[in-house]
Structures are given as structure tokens and as C-alpha cells.
């Protein structure tokens, strides 16, 4: 019984399929709907439509069942509109309060988002076709779409010019911030640093091997707290009551110094050793915002250890440590889903972390970070040009590798200030000077990796491809610029397109970031081993006491339980009308539109 449709397509040199016999006939990405293009001799190709729900020469025709599914499933633009438009908020308020209905929808979100991600992985940056290595070799980031073949007429396949635009020109013209534009919906620096702190646990490009490689695990493994491997973890551990090493400075608990925990950290030579703190991620001395999050999680780990020890006086250091680590991991996912993703999605539907909704479903508890997810998560426009800590302004260069800032102001003040300062808007003309270089590198890496054009990613993630430059961006000048530079809307590069794309109403990001990032994000969070049935039970977390810590975790509790004095207005938005942005003395900071 053949369950696949596999048809020989005699290539027609017509329409958009343009190539000579010297070219790879798959360069035009002729196969639709997840069909795989395979060359057959030098001039022909086949679209393999097996297991896609489609058939036809280009896998363009839906089977009956797939057609029905398509009919029932709204377009992502519609879904997003329904979920975010304030006009429907009352409906969601009702749904959020009907547990059965809420569970059905939440499960659907998990499943529909996750099914967009290949699991096991099939592509890496090393091959344009499926290899066993893609699944087996975790040194690679996976790929959502395979690289553009090397034997194509243009760098983007067949569309566009034979050379891509000058990257310096692109960055200057499209990315450089002239005036700070605040994030439209009031996101603050607590959000910015959460994003940076959280995602760097799995976005770890192995630059020595190349842009397609990673030195990280492939998901939420809390390696940014405990280190990338056992040796670092051991150096960070106190080996007493499960706790991590800390030191007290100005009456507060902080991470240890590298003299106390000799882990590998990347501090520049001008940072004296007595100011080099040991953190799970070698890079997290970079910014006081990362240092703040590192400290908070460190305190939370030790707090959890004490709670566990009170219930389990019989446990040794090792069991307390291992179990506290599982609790911290659970809290992380809970907070990411219910505070962080809830905030950035702007959904009126209440997102919940309920692993049990996936029990018995066709769902893979494994994850691979894709290089596209890494690229689209380059959210540097969120970064302001300067930081306002309790009224004192720090220019970015002053802030870098300056752990003194946090020690001097104290953790509570740092958190308070981050909560009150707006983040930048994720759009064009909003990269601060220091982050321009990162944007440039990202584009160059995208070229090295031969990422397929933006429109191919839009198609893969159920969006209509942009039909014109005016369709892509709402800035006429940028549209004209891009048209001149790329020549063809189908040739616009992935990262460039993401950054210039017009936002849908009520969105913090362009639609492609949301529709590509959403699946990778949901899949990464819910496929964590602790979400699987053999993990997700009380005893894994020390019993009800640990399980409840996870199930009731929130950003607010994470901070308020571990800060001295009155708890600041902890949230991912700057405080609202009832708590005006009065502390915001920086002129840019006041530009936030609330």
C-alpha cells in the first residue's frame, strides 16, 4: 500500500522555473507544502509529496482530509487578529474561565505550533538534502529549511541579483537607530534582559566550527545557571545542602568570584579578577542585566534547596541539588510560558504551562535548536542606548562588563530601574550603535549558511509570500531601497526581511518572527524531558512541595521572594498609569507610547 505520491515531473522551462542545464533544477524551490525537491539527472527533478497531505507535480493539491483541515484552520493572520484584537478580549475572558474549553485550545496551540517543527531534525547547514547526521549529530543547529544549493544562478536560488547588497550599506541604511523608538506596548528592560538571559542558554553558535554549529544543548537545560557541563556545575556547587556557592557583599547574596569558583568566563583583560564573577554562562559578565538574572536564579536555587531540605532532612547534598535543579527548570518553563510568552504574544487567551495536556498525544519530547530560530531571535533593537539606574544614567559602553553597577545600587534598585525603563521597538532604524556589528554579522552568517529567502520561510510557516516590497514594509523609503538592492521580493534575505517587516496590529514583532518563532518556541518549551509523563509527577520534584513551587511560579514571585526590602513593580511592562513612569528621567525613555 503506497501512502505517498511520487511523481516524475518533466521540467517545463516556463513560469517562474528558470534555469539552464548547468543549474540545479531545485534552485527555484518548485515543491510546495513541504514537498521535497530531488534532482533526477541533470535536468529534471521530482517533488516527493509523501506524508505531506498534498499531491501533484509540485505537491500543490491537498488531499481530501488535508483540504478539510485547511478549511477548518484559519490563516495565521486571522488567528493572530482574533487572539490579540482588544475587541475580542471579552470572549477570551470567558474562555479563559472555562477550564475544559481552555484546555482544548491550549492543547491545540501546543500541537499546531509544535507540528511545524521537524522532530527528529532532517536538515543541517551542511547538506541541502536529508542526512542521518542531521538527526544524530547534535553539534549542528538544525535547519527549518535546507540551504540554497550552491549551484544556483543567484545566491537566493533563481530570484534576485547575482550579488547580494553590500552589508555595511544595508545595516547603515535600514538598521541604524537615529532616535530611540520605544516598544509600542510598554515592554521594559526586565523583559529585554529576560529574553537575553533565557535564550543564551541555547543560542550558542560555535564560531570556531562555523555559523551552522552550536556548542550548546538544544533547549531549556538551565545550563545558563548551572554551566554547560558537569565540571562547571561542580565548581559552582557548594556541595552542602544542595546549594550553589554565593558570597555576601553589602549584606546581599551574589554569585561567587572566579577565584572561588574557577569556571571559564569571558571577561576582557581590563576587568580585574576580583570583579570577575563566576556564572553558568561564560558570557554573562557582559551586562549588569544578565548579572541581575543570574543572581536572582542563584538565590532562588538556594531558596528551593532550603524548602526541600525542610521536607527531606534525610536527603544528602546530591539529591537536594539534583531535585532543586529540576524545580528551577520547571519554574523557568512556567515563567517563560505564562509571563514571558504571554507578554510578547499579546494574546488575550491566557497561556498556561500544563504538560499533562500533551500526554498520549503524538508529540516528540526532544528538541533541536534551529539556526533560523537563532537568527530571528536577534532582538537587539530592544536594547536602549543608555540605562537609567535609579536616576543615574549609564551609557552602553559604561554598562558593559561593569558588575559594580549592580553591587553599588543593590539588586532591588536594579530590578526596579529595569522594570521602569522601556525597551526599544523591534523594527528598522532601531539598532543602537553597539549592536550594529551584531546585525551585520547575522546577515553575513545568513549568507554563509545560504538561508533561503524570507518568502520561502513565510510559505513554510503558512503565511502568504510577500508580493511586493510595499507589502513587506510600511516604510516607503525602505521599500524603494530594498527593491533597488534586491530586485525581486523573492530574493529578500531572511534576517533583513524580519527586521523591516510591517507589524500586524497589536503585535510587538513582524508576523514572520511570530509565525516562525512561535513553533520553535512552543516546541522547545513543551518538549523538555520534564514535561514527559515519567518526569511530570510530584516525586520528581521532591513531592508536592516542589511540584507546587513550579505550578505556582511567576516572574513576580521569582523576584519578590529573593529581593530585600519592598518588592519593585516586577512585570515585563513599564508600570502603568497607576504607577507613572516618573522615574524615567532619560528623554528617550519618555517616548514610550502607552
Binding annotation for heme b: 380
Instruction: Please identify, using beta-carbon distances, which residue of 66 and 364 lies nearer to a copy of itself.
Output: 364
For the chain, how big is the Rg over CA atoms in Å?
Answer: 25
The question of whether 200 is a catalytic residue gets the answer: yes
Buried b (16+ CB within 10 A) or exposed e, 542-556: beebbbebbeebebe
- Rounded Cα–Cα distance for residues 508 and 425 (Å): 7
Among 88, 283, 394, 535, binds a copy of itself (CB under 8 A): 535
Residues 6 or more apart whose Cβ sits within 8 Å of residue 498: 375, 376, 454, 510, 512, 513
Site residues (CB under 8 A) for a copy of itself, limited to 135-194: 135-137
Instruction: Please identify, using beta-carbon distances, which residue of 169 and 359 lies nearer to a copy of itself.
Output: 359
The three cell numbers locating residue 419: 522594570
230 binds a copy of itself, rule: CB under 8 A:
yes
Among 530, 555, 558, 584, binds a copy of itself (CB under 8 A): 530
Binding residues: 380
Among 141, 194, 198, 363, binds a copy of itself (CB under 8 A): 363
356 binds a copy of itself, rule: CB under 8 A:
yes
Residue 448: phi and psi, rounded to 5, are -55, -40
48 binds a copy of itself, rule: CB under 8 A:
yes
Instruction: Please identify, using beta-carbon distances, which residue of 179 and 234 lies nearer to a copy of itself.
Output: 234
Among 306, 318, 585, 593, binds a copy of itself (CB under 8 A): 318
- Rounded Cα–Cα distance for residues 357 and 100 (Å): 11
Q: Pick the catalytic residue: 200, 281, 409, 431?
A: 200
Q: Pick the catalytic residue: 340, 377, 486, 495?
A: 377
CB 291 within 8 A of CB 275: no
What secondary structure does DSSP assign to 225-275, as a single string? HH-SSHHHHHHHB-SSTTPBP-EEETTEEEPPBTTTS-------TTS-GGG
CB of 93 to a copy of itself, least distance (A): 21
Site residues (CB under 8 A) for a copy of itself, limited to 104-133: 118-120, 122, 127, 129-133
CB 528 within 8 A of CB 119: no
- Rounded Cα–Cα distance for residues 431 and 412 (Å): 28
Site residues (CB under 8 A) for a copy of itself, limited to 425-454: none
**Residue labelled with grid coordinates 529574553:** 195
- Rounded Cα–Cα distance for residues 17 and 444 (Å): 27
What x-and-dash track marks residues 260-289 binding a copy of itself by CB under 8 A? ------------------------------
Strand partners, 255: none
The question of whether 45 is a catalytic residue gets the answer: no
366 binds a copy of itself, rule: CB under 8 A:
yes
CB of 577 to a copy of itself, least distance (A): 36
394 binds a copy of itself, rule: CB under 8 A:
no
Buried b (16+ CB within 10 A) or exposed e, 110-119: bbebbebbbb
| 96, 387, 574, 576, 583 from 419: Cα distances, Å | 27, 12, 6, 11, 10
Instruction: Please identify, using beta-carbon distances, which residue of 25 and 518 lies nearer to a copy of itself.
Output: 25
Residues 6 or more apart whose Cβ sits within 8 Å of residue 368: 119, 120, 121, 138, 141, 142, 218
Among 56, 465, 543, 569, binds a copy of itself (CB under 8 A): 543
CB of 536 to a copy of itself, least distance (A): 7
586 binds a copy of itself, rule: CB under 8 A:
no
Instruction: Please identify, using beta-carbon distances, which residue of 331 and 493 lies nearer to a copy of itself.
Output: 331
Q: Which residues are catalytic?
A: 200, 377
Residue ranges binding a copy of itself (CB under 8 A): 1, 3-4, 6, 36, 38-42, 46, 48, 50-51, 99, 118-120, 122, 127, 129-133, 135-137, 217, 221-222, 230, 311-315, 318-319, 322-323, 325-326, 329, 356, 359-366, 529-530, 532-540, 542-544
Amino acid at each position: 500500500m503506497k501512502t505517498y505520491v511520487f511523481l516524475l515531473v518533466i521540467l517545463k522551462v516556463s513560469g517562474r522555473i528558470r534555469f539552464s542545464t548547468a543549474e540545479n533544477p531545485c534552485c527555484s524551490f518548485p515543491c510546495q507544502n513541504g514537498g521535497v525537491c530531488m534532482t533526477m539527472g541533470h535536468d529534471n527533478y521530482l517533488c516527493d509529496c509523501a506524508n505531506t497531505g498534498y499531491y501533484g507535480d509540485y505537491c500543490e493539491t491537498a488531499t481530501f482530509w488535508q483540504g478539510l483541515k485547511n478549511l477548518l484552520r484559519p490563516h495565521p493572520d486571522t488567528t493572530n487578529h482574533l487572539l490579540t484584537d482588544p475587541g475580542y478580549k471579552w470572549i477570551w475572558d470567558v474562555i479563559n474561565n472555562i477550564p475544559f474549553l481552555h484546555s482544548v485550545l491550549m492543547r491545540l496551540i501546543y500541537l499546531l505550533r509544535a507540528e511545524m517543527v521537524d522532530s527528529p531534525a532532517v536538515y543541517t547547514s551542511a547538506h541541502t538534502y536529508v542526512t542521518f547526521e542531521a538527526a544524530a549529530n547534535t553539534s549542528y543547529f538544525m535547519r527549518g529549511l535546507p540551504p540554497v544549493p550552491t549551484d544556483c544562478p543567484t545566491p537566493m536560488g533563481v530570484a534576485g541579483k547575482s550579488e547580494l547588497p553590500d552589508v555595511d550599506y544595508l545595516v547603515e541604511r535600514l538598521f541604524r537607530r537615529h532616535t530611540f523608538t520605544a516598544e509600542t506596548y510598554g515592554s521594559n528592560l526586565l523583559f529585554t534582559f529576560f529574553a537575553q538571559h533565557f535564550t543564551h542558554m541555547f543560542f550558542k553558535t560555535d564560531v570556531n566550527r562555523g555559523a551552522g554549529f552550536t556548542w550548546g544543548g538544544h533547549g531549556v537545560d538551565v545550563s545558563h545557571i548551572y554551566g554547560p557541563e558537569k565540571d562547571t556545575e561542580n565548581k559552582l556547587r557548594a556541595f552542602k545542602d544542595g546549594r550553589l556557592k554565593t558570597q555576601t557583599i553589602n549584606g546581599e547574596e551574589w554569585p561567587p568570584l572566579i577565584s572561588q569558583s574557577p569556571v571559564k568566563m569571558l571577561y576582557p583583560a581590563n576587568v580585574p579578577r576580583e570583579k570577575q564573577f563566576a556564572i553558568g554562562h561564560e558570557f554573562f559578565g557582559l551586562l549588569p542585566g544578565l548579572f541581575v538574572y543570574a543572581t536572582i536564579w542563584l538565590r532562588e536555587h538556594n531558596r528551593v534547596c532550603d524548602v526541600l531540605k525542610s521536607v527531606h532532612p534525610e536527603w544528602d547534598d546530591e539529591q537536594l541539588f539534583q531535585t532543586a535543579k529540576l524545580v528551577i527548570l520547571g519554574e523557568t518553563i512556567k515563567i517563560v510560558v505564562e509571563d514571558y510568552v504571554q507578554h510578547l504574544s499579546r494574546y488575550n487567551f491566557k497561556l498556561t504551562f500544563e504538560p499533562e495536556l500533551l500526554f498520549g498525544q503524538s508529540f516528540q519530547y526532544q528538541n533541536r535548536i534551529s539556526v533560523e530560530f537563532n537568527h530571528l531571535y536577534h532582538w537587539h533593537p530592544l536594547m536602549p542606548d543608555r540605562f537609567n539606574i535609579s536616576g543615574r544614567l549609564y551609557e552602553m559602553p559604561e554598562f558593559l562588563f561593569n558588575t559594580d553597577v549592580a553591587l553599588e545600587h543593590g539588586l532591588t534598585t536594579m530590578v526596579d530601574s529595569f522594570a521602569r525603563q522601556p525597551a526599544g521597538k523591534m523594527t528598522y532604524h532601531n539598532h543602537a550603535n553597539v549592536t550594529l556589528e551584531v546585525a551585520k554579522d547575522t546577515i553575513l552568517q545568513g549568507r554563509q549558511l545560504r538561508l533561503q529567502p524570507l518568502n520561502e520561510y513565510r510559505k513554510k510557516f503558512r503565511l502568504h509570500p510577500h508580493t511586493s516590497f510595499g507589502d513587506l514594509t510600511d516604510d516607503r523609503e525602505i521599500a524603494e531601497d530594498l527593491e533597488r538592492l534586491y530586485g525581486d521580493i523573492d530574493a529578500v534575505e531572511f534576517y533583513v526581511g524580519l527586521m523591516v517587516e510591517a507589524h500586524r496590529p497589536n503585535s510587538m514583532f513582524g508576523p514572520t518572527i511570530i509565525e516562525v518563532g512561535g513553533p520553535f518556541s512552543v516546541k522547545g518549551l513543551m518538549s523538555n524531558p520534564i514535561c514527559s509523563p515519567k518526569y511530570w509527577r510530584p516525586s520528581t520534584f521532591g513531592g508536592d512541595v516542589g511540584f507546587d513551587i513550579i505550578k505556582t511560579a511567576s516572574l513576580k514571585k521569582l523576584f519578590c521572594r529573593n529581593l530585600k526590602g519592598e518588592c519593585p513593580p516586577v512585570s515585563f511592562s513599564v508600570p502603568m498609569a497607576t504607577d507613572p513612569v516618573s522615574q524615567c528621567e532619560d528623554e528617550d525613555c519618555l517616548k514610550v507610547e502607552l
